[in-house]
Amino acid sequence: MPVKDLDRIEWYLNKLKIKNKDADDFKIFADVIDTSVLKTLYKLSNRKIITALGGVINAGKEANVFHALGESGEVAVKIYKIETSEFHNMEDYIAGDPRFTKVKYTKRQLIYTWAKKEFKNLERAFKAGVAVPEPIIFLNNVLIMQFIGVDGVPAPTLRDIGNALPELTDVDDLFNQIVKEVKKLLEIQLVHADLSEYNILWDERPVLIDMGQSVLLDHPNAMEFLRRDLKNIVRFFSKYGIKSDVNELLREVMA
């Protein structure tokens, strides 16, 4: 990246009141930030939705998530990558969704639509009482939502907890809670479509995250995605002695 561009990023990051910025964080910021993202963050900052941008929560292939402070308290800032994203199958999750029939399939427009799609899915789920982060706002490829965690420390995923999970909760009850959340989604015609131990946080209860891929139940691949979600859950909990048949579980949640 040219020195001039790095200097511009540094100027904006200073304006955004970056907390605890170090060299590694700066590299991750540079990975997702271009001029349009800087302007988007600056607009959100001027509206006090973000008052201070903190450290990195998660650095993924498609997006980086940062901790931030806003007028409403702690928030999570998800910035979808435009230049380096690997959304090879993004169109499979957008095509067939009546909410997004006029999408122009340029890379930037796809990313913007993906951010909007995750916001809409979270909004629909949250209003129905599904355990998901509360969405706050989206703008271009930036999504602001409730931070799940305390004092900048994010709640762990089930994958992070691993073998310590039985020490924290009744695993059988946790399995049933997650199945209940899947049912709640189906009641509002949604399928998560990427559910696994990587996308479930433990915050004294399971919280479902990463809903950009979530599709309406009338999506042509909805049942395939639902079966995959359940298969992932059954696989994960089988390590803790919980036996469940995917086909039976599918009939149960669809009842």
- Active-site hit among 160, 172, 173, 210: 210
Asked if 128 and 208 touch (Cβ cutoff 8 Å), the reply is no
* 210 is known as an active-site residue: yes
- Active-site hit among 34, 151, 194, 229: 194
Mapped onto helix, strand or coil, the DSSP state of residue 83 is: coil
Q: Residue 163 has which token pair?
A: 């073998």
* 160 is known as an active-site residue: no
User: Assign residue 185 a region: left if phi > 0, alpha if psi is -120 to 50, beta otherwise?
Assistant: alpha
Instruction: Outline where the chain has alpha helix (H).
Output: 3-15, 23-32, 35-46, 90-94, 107-127, 158-161, 165-168, 171-187, 222-238, 246-254
What is Dmax (Cα atoms) for the chain?
59
Torsion (CA) 78, 83, 86, 91 in degrees, nearest 10: 90
Degrees, nearest 5: CA angle 102-104-106: 160
Q: Which residues are catalytic?
A: 194, 210
